A and B are shown apart, each in its own frame.
Chain A
Amino acid sequence: QVQLGQSGAEVKKPGASVKVSCKASGYTFTSYYIQWVRQAPGQGLEWMGMFNPSGGSTNYAQKFQGRLTMTRDTSTTTVYMELSSLRSEDTAVYYCARGRSTWSTMDVWGQGTTVTVSS
């Protein structure tokens, strides 16, 4: 069945980088976008950016410009999200989701990856 499997929890120090993986299975990897959404503790959902596995194009939310990088490995149908210059406010659960061309439609979600930024 269609699934997105994410990497495990991470603990990072302020100023470090984190790289979260999202492995797609059960569908044609290049036919859907991958969206990244995060949720800080007790807070709402926040869109971070979009990755198009067909060609590798990206669109990042302005808030994350310069700190966010999304890449792919087509041989393993995996998309990566790397966030640099981490600060405590980046502590959150990070989700990948399969997206359609309408952008706001995310029909399959990963299980989430908890990233904790603490000194």
Chain B
Amino acid sequence: QSALTQPPSASGSPGQSVTISCTGTSSDVGGYNYVSWYQQHPGKAPKLMIYEVSRRPSGVPDRFSGSKSGNTASLTVSGLQAEDEADYYCCSYASSNNVVFGGGTKVTVL
């Protein structure tokens, strides 16, 4: 199972929006609405930010939103804040009971 494709980096100024893409295939992202996004700060465990493409867990700000079109999922962070600077990983269920992660995107708040 190949990793999902994410851009290595993205950036934006405080208050701006940044969108991260996550491209897979019809066997993972495109085939199921089971895409999630994780935020990871240096030295910390990942944190669930979005699940099932666009659902937000309790406690996650509504500045974070998710969507999907075909084989590509996206995470948008609106109203960027300093604490949003982190690595972000997409994750998808894949056929035959597998899970695949993206390579990660480092978001920098300028």
| Residues 75-97 of A at the B interface (beta carbon under 8 Å) | 95, 97
**Count of chain B residues with Cβ under 8 Å from any Cβ of A?**
26
Q: Is the CB of B35 within 8 A of A95?
A: no
Known: A47-B99, A47-B101, A104-B92. A95 touches B45 (CB 8 A): yes
| Residues 55-82 of A at the B interface (beta carbon under 8 Å) | 59, 61-62
When C-beta atoms are compared, the residue in chain B nearest to A61 turns out to be B98
Report how many A-B pairs have Cβ atoms within 8 Å. 70
When C-beta atoms are compared, the residue in chain A nearest to B97 turns out to be A59
Residue numbers in A under 8 Å from B51 (CB-CB): 100, 102, 104-105, 107
CA distance A59 to B48 in the complex (A): 22
Known: A47-B98, A110-B45, A112-B45. A105 touches B34 (CB 8 A): yes
Residues of A within 8 A of B (CB): 35, 37, 44-47, 50, 59, 61-62, 95, 97, 100, 102-107, 109-112
Residues of B within 8 A of A (CB): 1, 3, 34-36, 38, 40, 45-48, 51-52, 57, 89, 91-93, 97-104
